[in-house]
Amino acid sequence: MKLVQLFMTRSLPPQQLLQLEDEELSSLIKPAAHYNRKTKNLKKMCHQLIERHNGEVPGTRDELLALTGVGRKCTDILMHFTFREPTIAVDIHVHRVVNRLGITHTTSREDTADAINEITPFKFKHHAHEWIIQHGMKICVARKPKCSDCSLTDLCDYYQTEVV
């Protein structure tokens, strides 16, 4: 997320980022997993941004997905927050919650993103990511969901089949 934020805020243009030593860049993103690999990807992506897009972050899905290290979730986050195209970005929390509820029946986050974006009314797409992710981090946690604290038990496939 930190990488995305750097670009979202445009506080660190690619030309400047390329001037950082690998160690310095790694330390900036270190809370992220695989930070050494991500450092290399980030530098490759900066070269691509300069060569293909004049150093600007492109505003289409295809152009974003063509950049090194940019996947579906990152693209959805950028489209949503930077380019104001309401989209539900699916991370591990969103994937878990919507599948437990039975809103989707998917095994990959990409399929979950396709399915949930297809069925969610436009007006709810602005905030759905935050609502679902918060529910997944605080109540519907991975190992032991706190179903006794959840207001969605009546609607939840997991609760009806695994808990009751």
- Candidate list 38, 43, 76, 91, residue with the active-site label: 91
b (16+ CB within 10 A) / e for 52-89? eeeeebbeebebbeebebbebbbbbbbbbebeeebbbb
Which positions from 103 through 162 interact with ligand SF4, judged by CB under 6 A?
Answer: 139-140, 145-147, 150, 152-153, 156, 158-159
102 lines the binding site for ligand SF4 (CB under 6 A): no
φ, ψ of residue 74 to 5 degrees: the values are -60, -40
Does the protein bind ligand SF4 through residue 95 (CB under 6 A)?
no
Q: From CA 12, how far away is CA 134, in angstroms rounded?
A: 28
Which amino acid belongs to residue 62? Answer: D
User: For this structure, is 91 an active site residue?
Assistant: yes
**By the rule CB under 6 A, 98 interacts with ligand SF4:** no
Is 73 one of the catalytic residues? yes
| Active site residues per annotation | 73, 91
Binding site for ligand SF4 (CB under 6 A): 100-101, 139-140, 145-147, 150, 152-153, 156, 158-159
